[in-house]
Chains A and B, each alone.
Chain A
């Protein structure tokens, strides 16, 4: 593994803020934005709770026709990429040596459901652009057109580990010298009523227990949790070698020291202690770091009953009980395909701030022996961090990050 892969640009949009500055402030203030979701196509005699992005601010240069033809996922990709792109000064990189990995599959479900519904009785007049937009790879086309990317661009799918998988794939593309810089995007997963309904009936999404108090519904690692709460988000990270960043005079945020990917060999949503442990140990081993050297863990922590317990057992098994820990999803909800990338951004922003954000609704931790950050943010310098994602279909990913000096 190349030891000198770094992050030089980041862009983010979430329900609690657009852009790194607003996002970091909201995280450290412990802000959240959970409510009964209102975006068209999310409810049908239902009241699913989630954290929705209110509105996105686009740079004045973006043509109206570009936005008109862009799905919600594409619009979020545009704002996240714009921010990361400008920060890393990617306009100075040869477009043929620039790549994009979009993390996520089947991400535009609500948009598709809305189109199907709208044209149910007038199918002869279905808009021809549907032929483009129904594919997730439309995001690759859309973004490469907007930013003039000429290297490589494709999607990778790993359910809720897609964001981390995109980072790993981008890192591999740079390590293999396919491109000089590669942007990893955790794409906004746009759930429709149908996905909400099935995720809840499967027992993965939280129940209506907190229907009257939406702010209390999302409670990772708390004894009263009963499933994940959805949250719209999207994050972009620019990955390149330290040498490449030096050539452009761009200061890195952090180094990607190592990663691990492990499959459980299990199609079902059940987590696996063995798989999670293997992913964590793989990442630590690749990073040449001992568990004692990790001083912050950003866990997957969705609020799933079995998932949260299994994750803590895996951290125990790996000797990671001393590191500080919070749950980013307690503030922004579960972004599914976006989660891995957005939570890495949250980790790196905390690393830069030297502060850790609080965990909302962590009133009775299922395991109080961990070093939880609970009601308010704390000062804590992070030298080495571990970020985790797990997805349906038995995928586990872990990434080790080191502060850039």
Chain B
């Protein structure tokens, strides 16, 4: 999976949780919190992405990434290990 595909996946699940972002053009530096996702929304988005990837990442590791680009990198790294 490419980083672009992973970013698209994150964007898709973010729109699922926050339907108001339907028209938003996601970029790597976007921060979910700045887009209106509260802590529960962020946990939901992360879980949906993990399910789509058939991948389980610990909640602690998910605190690291500062934007969706870094989140995509974390998932890519985990996919490589898997």
Among candidates B18, B20, B40, B50, residue contacting A129 with C-beta atoms closer than 8 Å: B40
Q: Mark A110-134, 1 if CB is under 8 A from B, else 0.
A: 0000000000001011111100100
Residues of A within 8 A of B19 (CB): 64-65, 68
Does the CB pair A125–B51 fall under 8 Å?
Answer: yes
Instruction: Say yes or no for A63: interface residue by CB 8 A criterion.
Output: yes
Besides the known contacts A65-B17, A65-B18, A65-B20, 7 further A-B residue pairs in the complex with CB atoms under 8 A apart: A63-B20, A65-B19, A65-B41, A125-B50, A127-B48, A128-B44, A129-B43
Among candidates B20, B48, B56, residue contacting A124 with C-beta atoms closer than 8 Å: B56
Among candidates B18, B40, B56, residue contacting A128 with C-beta atoms closer than 8 Å: B40
Within 8 A of B (CB), among A91-149: 122, 124-129, 132
Within 8 A of B (CB), among A259-273: none
Residues of B within 8 A of A63 (CB): 20
Instruction: Say yes or no for B76: interface residue by CB 8 A criterion.
Output: no
Specify the main secondary structure of chain B where it touches its partner: helix
How long is the Cα–Cα vector from A68 to B44 in the complex, in angstroms?
Answer: 12
Among candidates B17, B20, B40, B47, residue contacting A125 with C-beta atoms closer than 8 Å: B47
Q: Mark A236-276, 1 if CB is under 8 A from B, else 0.
A: 00000000000000000000000000000000000000000
Residues of B within 8 A of A124 (CB): 50, 56
Q: Measured between C-beta atoms, what is the minimum distance from A139 to chain B in Å?
A: 16
Specify the chain B residue showing the minimal Cβ separation from A132: B40
Residues of B within 8 A of A126 (CB): 47
Using a Cβ–Cβ cut-off of 8 Å, how many residues does chain B contribute to the interface with A? 13
Q: Could you show 23 A-B contacts with beta carbons less than 8 Å apart?
A: A63-B20, A64-B19, A64-B20, A65-B17, A65-B18, A65-B20, A65-B41, A68-B17, A68-B19, A124-B50, A124-B56, A125-B47, A125-B50, A125-B51, A125-B56, A127-B48, A128-B40, A128-B43, A128-B44, A128-B47, A129-B40, A129-B44, A132-B40
Among candidates B18, B47, B56, residue contacting A127 with C-beta atoms closer than 8 Å: B47
Residues of B within 8 A of A127 (CB): 44, 47-48
Residues of B within 8 A of A64 (CB): 19-20
Q: Mark A56-86, 1 if CB is under 8 A from B, else 0.
A: 0000000111001000000000000000000
Question: Which A residues contact B (CB, under 8 angstroms)?
Answer: 63-65, 68, 122, 124-129, 132
Residues of A within 8 A of B44 (CB): 127-129
Closest 6 pairs between A and B when the two form their complex, measured CB to CB: A125-B51, A128-B43, A64-B19, A124-B56, A65-B18, A65-B19
Residues of B within 8 A of A68 (CB): 17, 19
Q: Measured between C-beta atoms, what is the minimum distance from B20 to chain A in Å?
A: 7
Within 8 A of A (CB), among B25-57: 40-41, 43-44, 47-48, 50-51, 56
How long is the Cα–Cα vector from A127 to B48 in the complex, in angstroms?
Answer: 8
Q: Measured between C-beta atoms, what is the minimum distance from B24 to chain A in Å?
A: 13
Specify the chain B residue showing the minimal Cβ separation from A119: B51
How long is the Cα–Cα vector from A124 to B56 in the complex, in angstroms?
Answer: 7
Residues of B within 8 A of A122 (CB): 51
Residues of B within 8 A of A128 (CB): 40, 43-44, 47
Specify the chain B residue showing the minimal Cβ separation from A128: B43
How long is the Cα–Cα vector from A38 to B3 in the complex, in angstroms?
Answer: 43
How long is the Cα–Cα vector from A64 to B56 in the complex, in angstroms?
Answer: 29
Residues of B within 8 A of A125 (CB): 47, 50-51, 56
Specify the chain A residue showing the minimal Cβ separation from B40: A129
Residues of A within 8 A of B48 (CB): 127
How long is the Cα–Cα vector from A64 to B17 in the complex, in angstroms?
Answer: 9
Q: Measured between C-beta atoms, what is the minimum distance from B58 to chain A in Å?
A: 11
Residues of A within 8 A of B43 (CB): 128-129
Q: Measured between C-beta atoms, what is the minimum distance from A126 to chain B in Å?
A: 8
How long is the Cα–Cα vector from A278 to B44 in the complex, in angstroms?
Answer: 50
How long is the Cα–Cα vector from A65 to B18 in the complex, in angstroms?
Answer: 6
Q: Measured between C-beta atoms, what is the minimum distance from B79 to chain A in Å?
A: 16
Specify the chain A residue showing the minimal Cβ separation from B51: A125
How long is the Cα–Cα vector from A129 to B18 in the complex, in angstroms?
Answer: 14
Q: Measured between C-beta atoms, what is the minimum distance from B45 to chain A in Å?
A: 10
Q: Measured between C-beta atoms, what is the minimum distance from A217 to chain B in Å?
A: 39
Q: Measured between C-beta atoms, what is the minimum distance from B36 to chain A in Å?
A: 8
Specify the chain A residue showing the minimal Cβ separation from B19: A64
Q: Measured between C-beta atoms, what is the minimum distance from A119 to chain B in Å?
A: 10
Residues of A within 8 A of B41 (CB): 65
